Amino acid sequence: MTEQSVQPISPAEEVKLLLEQIAKGGKDEASRVVELAKQHNLPNVEKALNTALELREEFLKNSAPAEEFDFAKERARLNKAFPDDKPAKKPIEPLKLRLWSEVRIPEGANDLERLTYVPGLVGDMTEWIVSGARRPNRVMALGVAVVVVGTIIGRLIKGPTGSCTHLYIINRAPTGYGKDWPLQGGAILMDSAGLPHLIGTHRGLKVATTLLRHSGN
């Protein structure tokens, strides 16, 4: 005979077994359940333990023998309160976006560049694209940022005429002006937002960023 190794169970699985034991009228391991929950940061354990104790009281009040007690319904109740195997996730703090009062325009910016310093999510995306570019172009970066935000919110809202907020932007510039990176940055942003399926090609644009390579003026 081959000796089989015993696989260790996770803390959450141990808690589940202890809760069912408590609910069935077995040894009361409530203190052990609380200890495991604190050690491993398990969510929903307090609620699950209260449910198990309620079921335990109902079980002990039942006059039928344990083997005749129908625990299926009670187990379903308890399963709803069982903790997850994963530790509780910390809530994600909302991103603080810049306001118009926080926008700073450099003194050396020309009239066109001054228009690209904007607040909010569009402004943050613009700065991110510019900061990662070998040949920064603020106008192209702003165009891509507007397209990305417009594409995302355009699936949720529309104007009074029924039109959406997605846009078609053409970045037109001579070779070597840094047209590729803004387009790539827009795709990265869409992918990070979990919306890569909205990135289209020139044959069927969904994220409407059209790049025309122009070799001359």
Residue 95 falls inside a structural domain? no
Q: If pLDDT is split at 50, 70 and 90, which confidence band does 167 have? A: confident
Q: What is the mean pLDDT of residues 15-43?
A: 83
| Residue 137 sits in the same domain as residue 176 | yes
| Residue 117 sits in the same domain as residue 190 | yes
Residue 89 falls inside a structural domain? no
How many domains in the chain?
Answer: 2
pLDDT of 44 reads 77
Cα 161-166-171 angle, rounded to 5 deg: 135
| Residue 72 sits in the same domain as residue 115 | no
Q: Which of 206, 211, 213 is nearest to 182 (CA)?
A: 211
Percent of the chain beyond pLDDT 90?
Answer: 28
| Residue 54 sits in the same domain as residue 18 | yes
End-of-domain residue from the set 81, 109, 133: 81
End-of-domain residue from the set 27, 48, 81: 81
Residue 5 falls inside a structural domain? no
pLDDT of 93 reads 76
| Residue 118 sits in the same domain as residue 62 | no
Q: What is the mean pLDDT of residues 38-61?
A: 81
Report whether pLDDT(68) > 50: no
| Residue 110 sits in the same domain as residue 198 | yes
Instruction: Report the alpha-carbon distance of residue 11 to residue 6 in Å, rounded.
Output: 15
| Residue 134 sits in the same domain as residue 181 | yes
| Residue 123 sits in the same domain as residue 22 | no
Residue 157 falls inside a structural domain? yes
Percent of the chain beyond pLDDT 70?
Answer: 74
Residue 94 falls inside a structural domain? no
Q: Between residues 14 and 120, which one has the greater pLDDT?
A: 120
| Residue 105 sits in the same domain as residue 209 | yes
Encode pLDDT of 88-129 as tens digits. Answer: 566 777 778 889 999 999 999 999 999 999 999 999 999 999
Residue 126 falls inside a structural domain? yes
Domain range for 114 is 100-213
Instruction: Report the alpha-carbon distance of residue 9 to residue 91 in Å, rounded.
Output: 28
| Residue 125 sits in the same domain as residue 204 | yes
| Residue 128 sits in the same domain as residue 29 | no
Contacts of 42 (CB under 8 A, 6+ apart): 11, 12, 15, 36, 83, 84, 87, 88
Residue 191 falls inside a structural domain? yes
| Residue 16 sits in the same domain as residue 54 | yes
Q: Between residues 50 and 213, which one has the greater pLDDT?
A: 50
End-of-domain residue from the set 20, 52, 81: 81
Report whether pLDDT(81) > 80: no
Report whether pLDDT(164) > 50: yes
Q: If pLDDT is split at 50, 70 and 90, which confidence band does 147 have? A: very high
pLDDT of 185 reads 93
Report whether pLDDT(61) > 80: no
Instruction: Report the alpha-carbon distance of residue 152 to residue 50 in Å, rounded.
Output: 43
Q: What is the mean pLDDT of residues 167-188?
A: 88
